[in-house]
Amino acid sequence: MVELSNKIAAMITFEELEEIIDIIKNLHGYDVSGYTRSSLKRRVTRIMELNKLDLVELKSKLINQPGFSTYLLQEITVNVTEMFRDPEFYKALKNDVFPYLATYPHIKLWSAGCSTGEEVYSLAILLKEAGLYQRSFIYGTDINTKVLEKAKRGIYSLAKVKDYSENFIKTDPKSSLSEYYTAMYNAATINNSLKKNVLFSQHSLVSDRVFNEFQLITCRNVLIYFDTNLQEKVLDLFYNSLCHLGFLCLGSKESLINYKNAAKFKVVNKKHNIYQKIG
């Protein structure tokens, strides 16, 4: 006979997912209704598997157990990231965008949906290499406070950082990545000098507003988790947060193609989805 796996026991339907979305929204004020359903369903199913919950138990915990919704929200956001993910993108940033940024006396950057901070430190290193770090300030934001704690610490697994070194080499750097962290046992700690001009704080792309004006915003592999309406809303937020001629960097599978204000941006690098606000 077929033995049903955990996965199938923890299965929920799209309709049941809507009930969970409603509970989270009505009881806890978190609105995930703009998230893509199939991805959200996977994440919720995974949490059910991990905690060995069926749908009734999940709903009961959401309603009755303090803190469970926060846990759920932390677990449903995707927090997979790496340093210098898509090295070619960072190379394009350095070659196509940094010469513009160099003309500003102060450079403000925003890494939106920064998760555990790897992208923020990658930007910091890239700026440092270009001699721009001293006059830069990077804001790293995420909805998930748990990942932000990790980002602030800036301590990563040494094995992973060694993989990131390979990414870094592909950006044609002046130095080796090992100059930017201290290795101890199995951990790599990002140098304090790279944390000086960096601030991590909570910000929800769904419900929070413009909080500063930036010369550059990166938001890579975040929009794919949002439906087209929420994508549009978040792109508006970025548009309104950029200075005139500011830059917007999206993930390798994200573009402005369906954005109503696409004409207000110039394509700086098509392959790596780097745009400049011109209108």
Partner 1 sequence: MERKILLLAGSAGGFSVILNILKALERPIQIPVIVIVHRNPKYASSIEDTLSKALLQKIKTADDKEAIADGTIYFAPAGYHLLIEPDYSFSLDISEPVQYSRPSIDVTFESAAEVYKENCTAILFSGANQDGAEGLLMIKKYGGSTFVQDPLDAEVPIMPKAAIELNAQDKILTIAEIKDYIMQLT
Nearest approach, Cβ of residue 234 and partner 1 (Å): 13
Task: Provide the CB-side half-sphere exposure for 98 (13 A, CA).
Answer: 20
Tell me the C-alpha distance between 39 and 231, whole Å: 15
Q: Residue 246 or 251: which CB sits closer to partner 1?
A: 251
Nearest approach, Cβ of residue 264 and partner 1 (Å): 20
Q: Residue 56 or 80: which CB sits closer to partner 1?
A: 80
> What are phi and psi for residue 139, nearest 5 degrees?
-100, 125
Nearest approach, Cβ of residue 226 and partner 1 (Å): 9
Name the β-bridge partners of 169. none
Q: Residue 155 or 224: which CB sits closer to partner 1?
A: 224
Q: Residue 13 or 60: which CB sits closer to partner 1?
A: 13
Give the CA dihedral 43, 45, 51, 54, nearest 10 degrees: 150
Q: Residue 37 or 196: which CB sits closer to partner 1?
A: 37
Number of H helices and E strands in the chain, helices first, is 11, 10
Tokens of residue 166, six digits: 């390979």
Residues that bind partner 1 (CB under 8 A): 2-3, 5, 7-8, 11, 13-14, 36-39, 41-43, 78, 80, 221, 223-225, 227-228, 231, 251-254, 258
Nearest approach, Cβ of residue 119 and partner 1 (Å): 13
Element (H, E) at 159: helix 158-169
Tokens of residue 33, six digits: 């209704």
Q: Residue 196 or 253: which CB sits closer to partner 1?
A: 253
Nearest approach, Cβ of residue 137 and partner 1 (Å): 27
| DSSP secondary structure of 19-87 | HHHHHHHHHH----TTB-HHHHHHHHHHHHHHHT--HHHHHHHHHHSTTHHHHHHHHHS-----TTSSH
Q: Residue 118 or 254: which CB sits closer to partner 1?
A: 254
Nearest approach, Cβ of residue 44 and partner 1 (Å): 13
Closest CA to 247 of 203, 224, 213, 200: 213
Nearest approach, Cβ of residue 274 and partner 1 (Å): 17
Tell me the C-alpha distance between 190 and 198, whole Å: 12
